[in-house]
Amino acid sequence: MLRTSRSIPSRAGAWVSGYDHEQMRDEPLTEHGVVTEEQQWENLGYCLERVVPVAEEANVRMAMHPDDPPLSPIRGVARIMSSVENYQRLVDLVPSPANGIALCQGNFTLMVDDLPSVIRRGTRPGSGPGRGRPTGSVSGRPPRRGSGRRRQPTAVEARTGKR
């Protein structure tokens, strides 16, 4: 999440964060220089090809959150999770139930004019716009110790067999 301010007055006396692209337009490149979309896709593919099998073994479902804000590039760095089409590409990159989407309605609303139709279409490996499986935010609480329910192992624990 990229923010230009963390102290914007809001409703009921609350303070919120925000992003103003005009403030970033003249900022210098990051220490990484220019990072292209294709470099980002190569890096993401490299990561997912290694992480998704471990997540599958551990019965973990991952969900990619959109770039916040969904603008690209910022300070020379391409941001690839900023369109519905790129989310389809993400799902197709390493097809697996472990490779999912965090359907952040705030950010997806900034990407499209008709969010309900995007939600109805969803994404599925190889489908292009079609039916699918967005993965929502995690909710609830982990079980208390002594509740009789075992926690899911972490990806490292699942891979090594050690807890």
126 CB-near residues (< 8 Å, 6+ apart): 92, 95
Give the start-to-end residue ranges of the domains of the chain. Answer: 34-137+153-160
When comparing pLDDT for 66 and 159, which is higher? 66
Residue 162 has pLDDT above 80, yes or no: no
Per-residue pLDDT, averaged over 12-30, amounts to: 88
The Cα 116–Cα 122 span in angstroms is: 10
pLDDT tens-digit profile of 88-138?
999 999 999 999 989 888 888 888 888 888 888 776 565 443 333 444 433
Per-residue pLDDT, averaged over 38-57, amounts to: 97
pLDDT range class, residue 18, cuts 50, 70, 90: confident
Residue 143 has pLDDT above 70, yes or no: no
Q: 10 Å Cβ neighbour count for 6?
A: 9
Output phi, psi for 102, to 5 deg.
-90, 105
Q: Could you tell me where the beta strands, DSSP code E, fall in the chain? A: 5-9, 15-18, 62-64, 99-101
CATH topology of domain 34-137+153-160: TIM Barrel (3.20.20)
Q: What is the pTM of this model?
A: 0.68
**Mean residue pLDDT across the chain:** 80
**What is the pLDDT at residue 107?**
87
Residue 142 has pLDDT above 60, yes or no: no
